[in-house]
Amino acid sequence: MDLCILAERILTISAPGIIAHGAVLVRGGSIAAVGRAADLHPPAGTPTLSLGDVTLLPGLIDAHAHLMLDGSPDPLRTLQAEDDSQVLLRMVHNATVLIRSGVTTVRDCACRNHLSLALRDAIRGGLLVGPNVLSAGRVLTITGGHLFFVGRECDGTDALRHAVRAEVKAGVDLIKVMGSGGRITPGGANLRRRPQLTADELALVVREAHGFGKRVAVHAHATAAIAQAVAAGADSVEHCLWLDDETGFRLDERTLERMAAQGTFVVPTLARFFPRGGAAESGDPLMRDIDPLLPLFARMREAGVRLVAGNDTGASYTPFTDLVHGLELMARFGMAPAELLRAATLTAAECLGRDDVGALAAGRRADLIAVRGNPLDDVRALWDVELIIKDGQVAWQQMPGPGPRAPLA
């Protein structure tokens, strides 16, 4: 179906600035043309959707989410109380909330029993309306390591090689490996400040995954684990908190330089540690003050590291409505609105290895959102989503009426 969408402002993201009085021509679920409305000439009889005083831009991308979790103070407790059918229904709900908040592509970074593959395929097949899902399936971790209860426990290079191949066979879109521990895992916090794998083991995972054409995302809080991930050639480092071996933070400049030179992506997930409203996990000093972290991420930005939007969505106090809050936190270490928009669109698409989303350009998927205001002036305009179009079809539209519009409750 052809469709011509008119808007007061269009942000293509792939080109700087705004197209005023613009139009996007959609054909068969893809973008056929973008430009000034006066310059586009759709075929006679093409339906027109005139949006008026809004900004039209690509659908947002959340590069780090966990659709199996519920974003509550204790999501692990909820997960453990539910069987797979209940978890899958929760994932359908979470996907619906995500797309209604403007997220049209999401990278699911860990899932129980490959349930996210079923969700991904149902959305692709048109059974459900939701964001494009890229699934990491079951994460790779050591015995008893971070997220062992939903992952593949594997020790040594032979076990890791088998795990990569088993995940590829299952049909995952990427490989996720736990380079260090994490707080949500019972007994795993003691590994948070040091690597879970050896350098050779992590390098083996990356080589094996890349051999099958799969990208590798490495969960790494510890400075030493970040260094291993970068040296191994991982495609992205998740969290990247630069925790040292004892207390506090320590940024390794040599690793940072190599990260920038190689084009390693970093997904900071700051909203996971500093949620909207100030809620915090008791006993976690990282949750009390963002100020020590800001210079570290400012230095990464200065060095040219490619920073990507992603909240660890679904983890404690991290609801599926709050991707924009993560962007607000990234603004605190110096990222301008244009950079933030790229982090949640085109740069995120590059991180995911996708050239079909992330920008309004001919040949890309017709995944678009319309927001009130101009997010180039203030990224908080992304809270106020008026319309979501997915694959050229209206997926959700704000009904007119009084009262607050965003963020979604």
- Chain-wide mean pLDDT for the chain? 93
CATH number for the domain spanning 231: value is 3.20.20.140
Cα angle at 86 between 85 and 92, to 5 degrees? Answer: 90
Residues 20 and 82 in one domain: no
37, 51 Cβ separation under 8 angstroms? no
Number of structural domains in the chain: 2
Show the 3-state SS of 150-215.
CCEECCCHHHHHHHHHHHHHHCCCEEEEECECCCCCCCCHHHCCCECCCHHHHHHHHHHHHHCCCE
- Which residue range(s) make up the domain with 185? 60-352
Statement: residue 284 has pLDDT above 50: yes
Give the pLDDT confidence score for residue 407 in this predicted structure.
41
Show the 3-state SS of 110-150.
CCHHHHHHHHHHHHHCCCCCCCEEEECCCCEECCCCCCCCC
Residues 268 and 329 in one domain: yes
405 is a domain residue: no
The model's confidence at residue 192, banded by pLDDT at 50, 70 and 90, is: confident
Residues 258 and 196 in one domain: yes
Statement: residue 409 has pLDDT above 50: no
| Bond into 407 cis (ω within 30) | yes
The model's confidence at residue 171, banded by pLDDT at 50, 70 and 90, is: very high
Residues 259 and 179 in one domain: yes
Residues 341 and 205 in one domain: yes
The torsion defined by the Cα of 115, 121, 126 and 128, in degrees rounded to 10, comes to 10
Residues 112 and 235 in one domain: yes
d(CA 407, CA 172) in angstroms, rounded, equals: 32
CATH number for the domain spanning 26: value is 2.30.40.10
Residues 170 and 263 in one domain: yes
d(CA 266, CA 235) in angstroms, rounded, equals: 9
Residues 42 and 30 in one domain: yes
Structure tokens at 136: 């990491």
Statement: residue 254 has pLDDT above 50: yes
Residues 125 and 221 in one domain: yes
Residues 171 and 51 in one domain: no
404 is a domain residue: no
129, 99 Cβ separation under 8 angstroms? yes
Residues 376-384 have a mean pLDDT of 97
409 is a domain residue: no
Residues 225 and 93 in one domain: yes
For the stretch 87-114, what's the b/e string if a residue is b when 16 or more beta carbons lie within 10 angstroms of its beta carbon? bbebbbebbbbbbbbbbbbbbbbbbbeb
- Number of H-type helices and E-type strands within the chain: 12, 18
40 is a domain residue: yes
Q: What is the pLDDT of residues 208-251, one digit of tens each?
A: 999 999 999 999 999 999 999 999 999 999 999 999 877 689 99
3-class DSSP state of 8: strand
Residues 75-92 have a mean pLDDT of 96
CA quadruple 123, 96, 57, 340: dihedral sign: negative
Report, in this order, helix, strand and coil percent for the chain, each rounded to 5.
35, 25, 45
For the stretch 184-213, what's the b/e string if a residue is b when 16 or more beta carbons lie within 10 angstroms of its beta carbon? bbeebeebbbbbbbeeebbbbbbebbbeee
Give the pLDDT confidence score for residue 1 in this predicted structure.
73
402 is a domain residue: no
406 is a domain residue: no
35 is a domain residue: yes
- The DSSP H or E segment spanning 230 is helix 223-232
Give the pLDDT confidence score for residue 7 in this predicted structure.
98
Give the pLDDT confidence score for residue 408 in this predicted structure.
35
45 is a domain residue: yes
Q: What is the pLDDT of residues 106-143, one digit of tens each?
A: 999 999 999 999 999 999 999 999 999 999 999 999 99
Residues 222 and 73 in one domain: yes
Amino acid letter, residue 336: A
Q: Which of 60, 130, 50, 126 is nearest to 89 (CA)?
A: 130
